[in-house]
Each structure stands twice: as C-alpha cells, then as structure tokens.
Amino acid sequence: MGRGLTPVARIALAVGAAGAAALAWGSLVERRRFTLRRVEVPVLPAGSEPIRVLHISDLHMAPWQRDKQEWIASLADLRPDLVIDTGDNLGHRRGLEGVRRALQPFRGVPGVFVNGSNDYFGPVVKNPFSYFGGPSGIIRRAERLDIDALHAFFDELGWLDLDNAAASLEVNGTHLEFFGVDDPHRGFDRLEVVAAAIDDLRAGDSFGDDDWPDRGNGAPLRPSVTIGVTHAPYRRVLNSFVNHGAQLLVAGHTHGGQVCVPGVGALVTNCDIPRRQASGLSVWRHGLRSAFLNVSAGLGTSITAPVRFACPPEATLMTLVASR
C-alpha cells in the first residue's frame, strides 16, 4: 500500500490517517471516559473538620445520555458534604430529564449553583474553528430553554441559587459564605449587585457582627471560609471575588480546552483566563490578594461538537482541609 506515491502524498496520507484516528478516539471513546479528579484545598482554619465538596459543571445534558447520567448519579456514593454546580447543565430542550436522573441521588445534600449560558439557550451548529479567534459571541437564533424548570428542580434538591447573590451555610462545623454571578459569558453578571448582596449577608450574619454574643468572652469563634462561584472564569469576576475576600474560587465553562495537545495543554479557553489555568487547581492573584481557583474541565460537550481529545470529562472531589 502506498507504492508509487510521492513522499508528500505519503505524508499527507499518514497525517490524514492520524487525524481520523484522533477524531474517532475523541468522539467515540474519550468524551465518555468520565474521570473523578481529587484535590485537597488548604483553606480551613486549624482544627477544622475536612469538608468534601463535589464540583460538577458543564453537563450539557441530553435525555439519551444514560451513561453520563448513571456515572454522575454514582458520585453520590462518595457521600459529599456539599455540591457546587457551576452551570451549563442543559444541552437539549429535554435536557432536564437527564439532569433529574443524574442529580436525584443528591437530594438532601447541601448545594449551591449558578447559571451558564447553555442553561438559557440551546446548542446551535457553528464553525468549531471560530473558538480560536476568541470567546464565542452571542448567537441570536439559539432556542430558549426552560431555565425556570431547572431552577425549580434545584430548589427541590435544596440547593441555593447564587446568581448575582450571596448566601451562607454551615457544613461540618464550618461557616461557609458564598457569593456568585449569573453567566458572565453572556454578560449577565452584575458585580455591583453581588457587592450589595455580600454587604447585606454580612450585616445580617452573626459572624460579621462585632457584638455577636460569644465574642470577647473567651469562647472560640467558629471557623469561616468564603467561596466565590461563577460559570465562566472571566478575569473581571475573579478579581472582584478576590477583592471581596474569597479564599476559594470555583468555575467551569472552559471544558479544559476540550481538544488539547499532549504536553502543551489547552489551546483555547473561550474566555480571558490564561490557558495554563484552563482546568485544575491553581492560585489566582490580584493585587496583594490571592485565592485558590478550581476550574472544572466539565462533564459534557455541545451535542453539535461531541468530541474531546487529551481532556477527558471530569468531576472534582475537593477536600477542604486546614491550611498549612
């Protein structure tokens, strides 16, 4: 085979065969190679009990994706203390059917969530190479999805909506303060609203009150940690979160680059975060402040671009532990 071909033709044939093999792997195998990434995040005060946080993102769920639904449901066996969902749960007009099957086992587990753009709008066919030109733009012809029904289901689970809002929970004896934004990729984030929500939360929270009854009488203060949550990790959002005292930032959206080069990593992020921080645990610095940043590579892809390469779908089990 290949006799009589010129060297250039042979090279082209080899490149074409390699490309076809990579496409087959990425579309048939790797996008279903669901992976659990485990990390420790040292943000708790000394003596605190560890907190197991399951971070899920970018399900892009369609009703027929039973393998993904079953794998996500099986994560309930990890017995997390908290679930953080960073958006893009829907990937089809009937995506909520699959989301219900996947997340029903987490009913009663404390959780928080924010919206991604694909919770509002369905997928559309577009040129995948357009991502190399910068973050994807707004597509006017996209189908509107039933985000209200999605929120109603999360409310059934007992999860808190952090879209341009702030809230708090107590988990394993630690006070957790959260704030988050609606999807920054669509420009739905309202950082000034979040700032006001943080002020209101802290004004009404006994942890922020200098006259809290146990202060000053020798009783130890309960430990507290502040967490910022966003779908898309745009710099403006991360910087604002750090300015408001977040010690941990949690995001999705990037798909880890989705199609990566081994040894190089992500080629694109679909936002303005540096490529080296497109997935995984890192440190985000702004001014004189810093916070841990966990960006999930996500669990799905758009149904119009069902391929991953050198970037398997993932969920993250973050164990919050005492800082060293």
pLDDT digits (tens, 9 = 90+) for 8-20: 555 555 555 555 5
- In the DSSP assignment, the letter for residue 83 is E
> Is residue 141, in this structure, part of any structural domain at all?
yes
> Is residue 24, in this structure, part of any structural domain at all?
no
> Is residue 144, in this structure, part of any structural domain at all?
yes
The whole-number pLDDT of residue 12 equals 56
User: Residue 5: which residues within 8 A CB-CB, separation 6 or more?
Assistant: 13
The whole-number pLDDT of residue 8 equals 55
3-state secondary structure of 129: helix
> Is residue 20, in this structure, part of any structural domain at all?
no
> Is residue 7, in this structure, part of any structural domain at all?
no
> Is residue 12, in this structure, part of any structural domain at all?
no
Give the residue numbers spanning the domain of 39.
33-322
- The answer to whether the beta carbons of residues 59 and 69 sit under 8 Å apart is no
In angstroms, the CA 309 to CA 303 distance is: 16
| Nearest to 202, CA basis, from 175, 182, 229 | 175
Q: How many domains does the chain have?
A: 1
CATH number at residue 284: 3.60.21
In angstroms, the CA 45 to CA 47 distance is: 6
For the whole prediction, is pTM greater than 0.85? yes
> Is residue 22, in this structure, part of any structural domain at all?
no
Consecutive H or E run containing 156: helix 147-157
The whole-number pLDDT of residue 133 equals 58
In angstroms, the CA 162 to CA 120 distance is: 16
> Is residue 224, in this structure, part of any structural domain at all?
yes
Q: Is the pLDDT of residue 226 over 60?
A: yes
